[in-house]
Structure 1
């Protein structure tokens, strides 16, 4: 039995080492000579190890099944060697092919190989014609050498396999032991015990994208994206291309007449804090229990700042809401551009726009930013510093999602004051993003105000955020601070809310801070999360031509509507009414303003055409 276990261990370790051995080729090709030191190279290997372990976990599955069978039945050595040598030859050839192609493509693509390459293989003649002859020869030789080396490394491992069965009294307990081994292997495949599963974002660690890319396992990057391959541009063919483009021109936010009619700020370059509030639905904010408001802090801040009365989320998920808020890009129905690093890297973002104006950019989250590829999206779109659960060691328990909002608001509240002091000294303002997490299932919080777990968790976050803002108000930092409070998405409260109706997507947005010159006021125009970028940049006097979908709420010439997407459908709301459309069934579900249907169709089709082009 020791030999069987040694065989499995050798398969796993050999695969990890082989995957790690591919990294020096990429480092020499694209990192060497660019000012990076030995420490950077070591970090590439250390951070990349998680995906190397995941690939090794997948490769070990077949040998594990074969060993399990060998506990009970004899597998002749010749048969086992043929099976295993063939299997490892396939693993080696596929890995070597991915590696060789990836190494050549990165120079032109700027990201590690994914299933996008299959699009170009639809026409093999054109694909071959596009390849330089000597480059093809070089990469073919590299492929052959790499495959041969991997096959050679696996051969001594195969010789460790023992196909002799055990007596049934021993086979039974060892079968249970292999089940435990399979559990460990599954953890390697999954990427650990954390909420986030294995994805390319798990290896991101630097503001230098080439180092993050060096840490990515190309085999994982390619195979994990196979299910994501889609002809996005053809998914919603409501209009011919000429009509779609003409319709969208009337809706786009970066038109020449997109000029705000008024300025709200007393400070030309304030420090900006965007607090993204998990699940803060408008219906919850307006709720009370026995005369006690669920969100008294939000109600107080609403009366003290600029309140956006008719504001809507673009989706029902955090990953899509974040992209809408921070990049002004509409949510998708059955996709999430945050999970597509090769496409989201080209999105505009408020962080990148402000960084170009001299702002420092930081994002904070008490949980795991690997979840849904958040960290790769953040780094790719201009956030220079990320602070998340791995960076903290608070003397406090964590929930399923991370450190609770009381802990994080205390830390973030103090850091913002420090950053404000530093900004006054250096003359460099900052943009800080902060995502809360306690008002999320399973709604376990150290708080006991309401019997309803969901409302209680919402009240907890409301109190934590309220205290944090009061702390800022009591400091000199407040004078130069603009705080934007906005929810990531709505919440089904009351339970009778249908998932696709407008009220389900209505959320609060409040601007507050000493940098505001305007007295407390309510803004009645209809808008959604995608409109925040253009509105904020417009108030700062910063161009936002690269934000096609984001409309400045204070630009009177632009159309005023809110658009949101749900699973296979969309909704549009404006002052005249609303429309809710099921794109899968091709029918209107609810309509009080028929003229809004083509707006929704145009927005949905344009979003997917845009993704297809990126």
Structure 2
């Protein structure tokens, strides 16, 4: 009986071993590229890939585990049980062999591991076969046969050696509990552990070298986890015929350049400040919609004549503030401001008064800020690794200018495929919870903002002392559900957590101010999304998505308030334009300081099955599921939103 109980465990271990062996096979198959890396890198590929290998092994073991438990209570001949297992393992072997063989052949053409999009081409078998030369067909067929034969032999060996006739089974209740306990461990393997993030391809990402990250991915997991994606994103929102959609988007695109206009502008050298004749202010917009009041008196338009930055190449720090909605930032509790530091600091730098999040989720807001790409309604491009890798990014743009790039988070960057996305889009170094060891307890999401803001300030100062230009990112986490923080200022749990994060960020800013790093620093504070405060605020109105963005640091020319409307996806072009760098790769991102091309200023956001657009003329909110307007004070904005939503999905489909 003991051997029968070992059968599921042996199945799990054998499957994990086979999955792990696939890694060196992949590296040998692509030996010309793998030769650039040492033996240690090969070992790290296998080691980091084990998490997804065990997830696949967990799935494979689930049915044998259940059948073994069933065999304790259901009387069938051992021959019958072995036939059942034989059929099951043949299916597993055939699927695994086919995926391994096809994945090896396609990687050199696709540049990513096999996923569910491969099934899209099965409806045109002649066209597929036309792209397969005879040697590739023979080679991959032989590989498929060898993989299948190996797996069938291995699983049959386990069945013969361990699933022995049990005869009369004493203590079947005890043995059943043991199997249920094994089932719990199997579930953890399938889930990917006990952490906040579940199994995803980001779990195996460990290097800025994308080939090594791709080598660590389990192709079976990559394929099976994307089977539900039909890939027909372009048809999700067919508002306009394709020709009309493309023409409408041309009028909205952020990188549209006026004839004869320079590619980028916006910084002032110390020796040659910008002249007043270089640009002419157009005046502040009026008629702000609900939730987006006009700027306070004394503000300066975004297109003021003087440049935004004092230097062409500042060190750049981007801090993504978890859930920092403007409704929270502007709130008071018991007569006290909830975020006194943000209120104080906004007078010291470039403050964007009418700025909005593109989404209500961190993964989508993060992509909007760092890649200038619009958020989606029912999907997240970050969770489509092959497509996310093709997005532009400020990290890649600044990396090409010689900047070192690093991103820090006190929690788990595997969550929602963040690590995979960040590495793929040019972030050279990721520092997160697994790399950090503080004498402080971690919260539900990771190390709290007090610990991380202190650490990050030290890190920025150290990077500055290195004398090399850098881009450093930080994502805060304490102002997130469940809002458990080591702080007791307000009785309201949400506001108390927000106040805690504000205090931590304020201390970090003051520490940077007091350091030599401040002189050449551009520090950007921007929320990842808003928050539904006060309670009961509608999820789809502009007020829910209004967020702060503030530029601080010695690199900022002078304090000002920007009144023009914009959203997270405009940050990339605005930053690069201010540094005199091209933002041609960012189709959707508008430079809010561009006085030559004058792209239309508006803020666009999405929610579950809908979008909102807001500018100085009013707002338009559309519910796609109900096919009706939620709120419209400026009807022309409806077509702006329709164009952007349809274009986003067409774009994703083509990537």
| Normalised TM-score (structure 1) | 0.98
Judge conservation of contact 1:201–1:376 (CA < 8 Å) in 2. Answer: yes
Counting only pairs closer than 5 Å after superposition, residues 239-388 of structure 1 correspond to structure 2 as 239-257=240-258, 261=303, 262=305, 263-388=307-432
Q: Secondary structure of 1:181's match?
A: helix
Equivalent residue number for residue 537 of structure 1: 576
1:75-125 CA-partner distances (Å, limit 9, x unpaired) = 311111111111111101100000000000001111000011111112111
1:364-385 CA-partner distances (Å, limit 9, x unpaired) = 0000000000000000000000
Judge conservation of contact 1:80–1:163 (CA < 8 Å) in 2. Answer: no
Shift in Å, 1:230: 2.8
Equivalent residue number for residue 607 of structure 1: 648
Shift in Å, 1:163: 5.3
Equivalent residue number for residue 204 of structure 2: 203
**CA distance in 2 between partners of 1:53 and 1:155 (Å):** 20
Judge conservation of contact 2:619–2:637 (CA < 8 Å) in 1. Answer: yes
Judge conservation of contact 1:265–1:515 (CA < 8 Å) in 2. Answer: yes
Judge conservation of contact 2:527–2:547 (CA < 8 Å) in 1. Answer: yes
Shift in Å, 1:496: 2.1
Shift in Å, 1:51: 0.6
Q: Name which of structure 1's ranges 115-124 and 443-452 shifts more when overlaid on structure 2.
A: 115-124
C-alpha change, 1:165 and 1:567, in structure 2 (3 Å) is: farther
1:184-207 CA-partner distances (Å, limit 9, x unpaired) = 000000000000000011001111
Equivalent residue number for residue 182 of structure 2: 181
Shift in Å, 1:173: 2.4
Equivalent residue number for residue 17 of structure 1: 17
Equivalent residue number for residue 408 of structure 1: 452
Equivalent residue number for residue 164 of structure 1: 166
Equivalent residue number for residue 273 of structure 2: none
**CA distance in 2 between partners of 1:601 and 1:51 (Å):** 39
1:533-587 CA-partner distances (Å, limit 9, x unpaired) = 0000000000010100000011241100000001110000000110110112211
**CA distance in 1 between partners of 2:502 and 2:78 (Å):** 66
Aligned mate of 1:473, from 513, 521, 534: 513
Aligned mate of 1:419, from 463, 475, 479: 463
Shift in Å, 1:166: 5.5
Shift in Å, 1:472: 0.6
Judge conservation of contact 1:307–1:509 (CA < 8 Å) in 2. Answer: yes
Judge conservation of contact 1:306–1:512 (CA < 8 Å) in 2. Answer: yes
1:299-353 CA-partner distances (Å, limit 9, x unpaired) = 0110111110000000000000000000000000000000001101110000000
Q: Secondary structure of 1:514's match?
A: coil
Aligned mate of 2:433, from 389, 401, 404: 389
**CA distance in 2 between partners of 1:149 and 1:396 (Å):** 49
The yes-or-no answer on 1:523 pairing with 2:524 is no
Equivalent residue number for residue 502 of structure 2: 462
Judge conservation of contact 1:325–1:532 (CA < 8 Å) in 2. Answer: yes
Aligned mate of 2:588, from 549, 552, 562: 549
Q: Secondary structure of 2:406's match?
A: strand
Q: Secondary structure of 1:22's match?
A: helix
Shift in Å, 1:150: 1.0
Q: Secondary structure of 2:309's match?
A: coil
Q: Secondary structure of 2:199's match?
A: coil
**CA distance in 2 between partners of 1:73 and 1:213 (Å):** 44
Judge conservation of contact 1:70–1:164 (CA < 8 Å) in 2. Answer: no
C-alpha change, 1:531 and 1:175, in structure 2 (3 Å) is: same
Q: What runs of 5+ residues in structure 2 fail to find an aligned partner?
A: 267-302
**CA distance in 2 between partners of 1:132 and 1:497 (Å):** 60
Judge conservation of contact 1:309–1:524 (CA < 8 Å) in 2. Answer: yes
Shift in Å, 1:180: 1.2
1:394-451 CA-partner distances (Å, limit 9, x unpaired) = 111011110000000111110100101112xxxx310000000000000000000000
Judge conservation of contact 1:330–1:607 (CA < 8 Å) in 2. Answer: yes
**CA distance in 2 between partners of 1:447 and 1:235 (Å):** 45
Shift in Å, 1:31: 4.5
**CA distance in 1 between partners of 2:351 and 2:643 (Å):** 29
The yes-or-no answer on 1:57 pairing with 2:83 is no
Shift in Å, 1:256: 1.2
C-alpha change, 1:608 and 1:470, in structure 2 (3 Å) is: same
The RMSD of aligned alpha carbons is 1.2
Shift in Å, 1:174: 2.2
Shift in Å, 1:3: 1.3
**CA distance in 1 between partners of 2:31 and 2:383 (Å):** 25
Equivalent residue number for residue 222 of structure 1: 223
**CA distance in 1 between partners of 2:409 and 2:530 (Å):** 19
Q: Secondary structure of 1:58's match?
A: helix
Equivalent residue number for residue 270 of structure 2: none
Q: Name which of structure 1's ranges 575-584 and 323-332 shifts more when overlaid on structure 2.
A: 575-584
The yes-or-no answer on 1:34 pairing with 2:35 is yes
Shift in Å, 1:162: 3.7
**CA distance in 2 between partners of 1:228 and 1:469 (Å):** 43
**CA distance in 1 between partners of 2:556 and 2:378 (Å):** 39
1:199-243 CA-partner distances (Å, limit 9, x unpaired) = 011001111111111111110110011122330001100000111
**CA distance in 1 between partners of 2:213 and 2:443 (Å):** 28
Judge conservation of contact 1:73–1:164 (CA < 8 Å) in 2. Answer: no
C-alpha change, 1:322 and 1:165, in structure 2 (3 Å) is: farther
Judge conservation of contact 1:74–1:164 (CA < 8 Å) in 2. Answer: no
Judge conservation of contact 1:71–1:166 (CA < 8 Å) in 2. Answer: no
Counting only pairs closer than 5 Å after superposition, residues 574-593 of structure 1 correspond to structure 2 as 574-593=615-634
Q: Secondary structure of 2:466's match?
A: helix
1:157-187 CA-partner distances (Å, limit 9, x unpaired) = 01111453655x7122222222111110000
**CA distance in 2 between partners of 1:202 and 1:600 (Å):** 35
Q: Secondary structure of 1:226's match?
A: coil
